[in-house]
């Protein structure tokens, strides 16, 4: 780790202090299973749970420790965010699908809350509400109009918060008001994953960690799944590899772009500072392309802040400094704060930025969560399982065509720095306009 005083003390996720991902005791591979699942993050486990409880034999494979992908590294904000605005969803998919997607967000957030509650998952979940800050009064007006529409049409508990009242939610003058949505909260992602793993194993699913799947071939009505530990015959295959998709799943790899997302954690802050900066402990985000999301740690003693990381190799200091600068822009008094942790993980973006449940070559894919998988991955994973069971509950507004392949792309996102730079320029332009 860097000796630079602006760097963080640790390069591992803050969450791993309380719940580090760990290897499971080795078990022999079965010769045959009903369902093979590739990836044991939130999506893979959520599917495995439903299938095992329905009496299917399930083997989930993960190349790393279970949860070591994005599922134990994220901000734990249960945003259920859909990246494109409602207007662009309508333009691309038509009114019916666009509203069905927004409506599914409401149901999916409730599904997560119910899952945590009914299963008694100890993961520090709190339904706090979430404030999203606007830059400039034009952006505020547009956000207020969308909030009103979503409230009226879908009964979502969301309202505009004018500039004069924003200090009730965030001790910052950066924004010109924002929106407050009450069906969003925060959880401890690594604890949530560990608890999901506990109930999935108890339901009878087998999880084979450090067992990369290297090839999947169709053999008549079944699939031959080749892994580093041997071969398994599966009746059905579900792929849940999201931002960690590799060349074993070349079809998916051409459609998903892994993008690094980074988080920093401050050292513990005095209680009076936390009370001033985050008075109600709500989850926080901003309405800009390269914006930040942030929140108090579950114990309320630190600030955790995340955003895009345009690095692609190693663990350079620059992305941490970008997040530090973002933190100081929001809260100038934290300019010289000490950071305890700075870590990154991969999210999966694709061309239309809408999560997906789709079929290709007889296999099912639950993936493409575009940085908002705390709600979407458990939800789409469980819908995928119901679909494999042939049940009505397998229906979803996300179950349509596969994401489009990206031209000239085979898994190395060479174009990413230019794309992220473009977003930064768009933000700078919008900020300049907002200040006029
Ligand atoms: C820093 C960061 C912050 C984030 N913050 C938020 C947030 O606050 N709110 C939110 O909603 N979302 C957030 N996200 C996104 C969220 O974490 C993900 O969308 C979600 O965890 C995806 O879950 P998953 O199960 O689809 O994939 P993952 O958890 O990434 O799991 C995929 C798994 O597939 C395995 N795999 C890949 N290829 C193979 C193979 N060939 N064989 C076997 N295994 C394989 C990998 O090892 C990996 O474990 C964040 C992500 C990051 C990285």
Residues 150-181 have pLDDT tens digits of 888 889 899 999 999 999 999 999 999 999 99
Measured in whole angstroms, the distance separating CA 105 from the mean position of its chain's CA atoms is 13
Strand partners, 159: 180
Alpha carbon of 126 to ligand 1 centroid (Å): 21
Q: How many helices (H) and strands (E) does the chain have?
A: 10, 17
- Of 292, 289, 283, 277, which Cα lies nearest the Cα of 431? 289
Instruction: Determine the atom of ligand 1 nearest the C-alpha atom of 243.
Output: 30
Question: Average pLDDT for residues 110-125, to the nearest whole number?
Answer: 98
Cα–Cα distance measured from residue 255 to residue 367, given in angstroms and rounded to the nearest whole number = 11
Give the residue, 236 or 419, on which the prediction is more confident: 236
Cα–Cα distance measured from residue 88 to residue 215, given in angstroms and rounded to the nearest whole number = 37
Give the model's confidence band at 293: pLDDT under 50 very low, under 70 low, under 90 confident, else very high: very high
Question: Average pLDDT for residues 272-276, to the nearest whole number?
Answer: 98
Q: What is the pLDDT of residue 297?
A: 98
Question: Average pLDDT for residues 202-230, to the nearest whole number?
Answer: 97
Give the model's confidence band at 199: pLDDT under 50 very low, under 70 low, under 90 confident, else very high: very high
Q: What is the pLDDT of residue 429?
A: 78
**pLDDT of 367 over the 70 cut:** yes
What phi and psi values does residue 4 have, to the nearest 5 degrees?
-60, 130
Alpha carbon of 361 to ligand 1 centroid (Å): 24
DSSP, res 176 = S
Alpha carbon of 424 to ligand 1 centroid (Å): 24
Say if CB 174 and CB 329 are below 8 A apart.
Answer: yes
Alpha carbon of 69 to ligand 1 centroid (Å): 5
Give the model's confidence band at 1: pLDDT under 50 very low, under 70 low, under 90 confident, else very high: low
Percent pLDDT > 70 in the chain is 99
252's tokens: 């998916």
- B/e letters for 33-64, b = 16+ CB within 10 Å, e = fewer, are bbbbbbbbbbbbbbbbbbbbbbebbbbbbbbb
Question: What residue owns the CA closest to ligand 1's atom 11?
Answer: 372
Testing ligand 1's pocket by substitution, the residue of 45, 83, 244, 306 carrying the most ligand atoms inside 8 A of its CB is 244
Testing ligand 1's pocket by substitution, the residue of 207, 241, 366 carrying the most ligand atoms inside 8 A of its CB is 241
pTM passes above 0.95: yes
What phi and psi values does residue 140 have, to the nearest 5 degrees?
-60, -45
Specify the residue for token string 């941490």.
Answer: 320
What phi and psi values does residue 316 have, to the nearest 5 degrees?
-70, 165
Alpha carbon of 242 to ligand 1 centroid (Å): 6
Lowest mean pLDDT among 83-92, 210-219, 228-237, 304-313: 83-92
Testing ligand 1's pocket by substitution, the residue of 12, 29, 37, 39 carrying the most ligand atoms inside 8 A of its CB is 39
Q: What is the pLDDT of residue 134?
A: 95
Q: What is the pLDDT of residue 292?
A: 97
Alpha carbon of 68 to ligand 1 centroid (Å): 8
Question: What residue owns the CA closest to ligand 1's atom 8?
Answer: 75
Alpha carbon of 41 to ligand 1 centroid (Å): 6
Give the model's confidence band at 321: pLDDT under 50 very low, under 70 low, under 90 confident, else very high: very high
- Specify the pairing of strand 213-219 against strand 230-239: unpaired
Q: For the domain with range 8-129+183-435, which CATH number is right: 3.40.50.9100, 2.160.20.10, 3.40.190.10, 3.50.50.60?
A: 3.50.50.60
Give whole-number Cα distances, 49 to 113, 193, 364, in Å.
16, 12, 16
- Of 378, 70, 402, which Cα lies nearest the Cα of 244? 70
Three-state DSSP at 28 gives coil
Q: What is the pLDDT of residue 132?
A: 96
pLDDT in tens, 372-392: 999 999 999 999 999 999 999
* Residue-averaged pLDDT of the chain: 94
Pocket of ligand 1 (CB under 6 A): 38-39, 41-44, 61-64, 68-71, 73-77, 79, 212-213, 240-246, 248, 261-263, 293, 306, 344-347, 367, 369, 371-375, 377
Question: Average pLDDT for residues 253-275, to the nearest whole number?
Answer: 97
- Of 139, 140, 175, which Cα lies nearest the Cα of 159? 140
Cα–Cα distance measured from residue 425 to residue 274, given in angstroms and rounded to the nearest whole number = 32
- B/e letters for 397-424, b = 16+ CB within 10 Å, e = fewer, are bbbeebbeebeeeebeeeebeeebeeeb
Say if CB 41 and CB 157 are below 8 A apart.
Answer: no
- Of 132, 89, 67, which Cα lies nearest the Cα of 378? 67
pLDDT in tens, 10-63: 999 999 999 999 999 999 999 999 999 999 999 999 999 999 999 999 999 999
């Amino acid at each position: 780790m860097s000796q630079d005083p602006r760097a963080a003390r640790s390069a591992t996720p803050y969450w791993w202090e309380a719940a580090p991902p760990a290897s499971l005791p080795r078990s022999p591979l079965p010769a045959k299973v009903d369902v093979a699942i590739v990836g044991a993050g939130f999506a893979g486990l959520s599917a495995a749970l439903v299938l095992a409880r329905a009496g299917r034999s399930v083997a989930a494979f993960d190349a790393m420790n279970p949860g070591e992908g994005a599922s134990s590294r994220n901000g734990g904000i249960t945003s259920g965010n859909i990246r494109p605005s409602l207007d662009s969803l309508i333009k691309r998919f038509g009114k019916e699908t666009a509203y069905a997607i927004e409506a599914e967000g409401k149901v999916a957030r409730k599904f997560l809350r119910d899952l945590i509650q009914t299963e008694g998952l100890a993961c520090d979940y709190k339904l706090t509400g979430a404030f999203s800050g606007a830059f400039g009064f034009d952006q505020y007006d547009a956000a207020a109009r969308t909030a009103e529409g979503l409230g009226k049409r879908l009964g979502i508990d969301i309202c505009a918060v004018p500039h004069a009242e924003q200090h009730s939610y965030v001790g910052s003058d950066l924004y010109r008001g924002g929106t407050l949505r009450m069906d969003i909260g925060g959880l401890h992602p690594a604890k949530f994953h560990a608890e999901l793993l506990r109930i999935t194993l108890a339901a009878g699913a087998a999880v084979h960690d450090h067992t990369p799947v290297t090839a999947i071939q169709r053999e008549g009505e079944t699939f031959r799944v080749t892994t580093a530990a041997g071969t398994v015959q599966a009746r059905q295959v579900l792929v849940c590899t999201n931002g960690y998709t590799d060349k074993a799943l070349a079809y998916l790899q051409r459609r998903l772009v892994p993008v690094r997302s980074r988080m920093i954690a401050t050292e513990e802050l005095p209680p009076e500072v936390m009370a001033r900066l985050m008075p109600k402990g709500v989850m926080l985000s901003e309405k800009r392309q390269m914006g930040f999301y942030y929140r108090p740690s579950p114990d309320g003693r630190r600030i955790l802040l995340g955003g895009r990381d345009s690095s692609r190799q190693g663990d350079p200091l620059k992305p941490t400094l970008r997040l530090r600068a973002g933190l100081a822009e929001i809260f100038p008094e934290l300019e010289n704060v000490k950071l305890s942790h700075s870590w990154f993980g991969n999210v999966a973006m694709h061309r239309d930025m809408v999560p997906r449940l789709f079929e290709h070559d007889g296999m099912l894919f639950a993936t493409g969560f575009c940085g908002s998988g705390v709600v979407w991955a458990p939800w789409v994973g469980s819908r995928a399982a119901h679909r494999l069971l042939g049940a009505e509950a397998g229906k979803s507004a996300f179950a349509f065509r596969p994401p489009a392949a990206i031209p000239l792309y085979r898994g190395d996102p060479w174009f990413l720095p230019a794309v992220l730079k473009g977003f930064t320029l768009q933000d700078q332009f919008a900020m300049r306009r907002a200040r006029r």
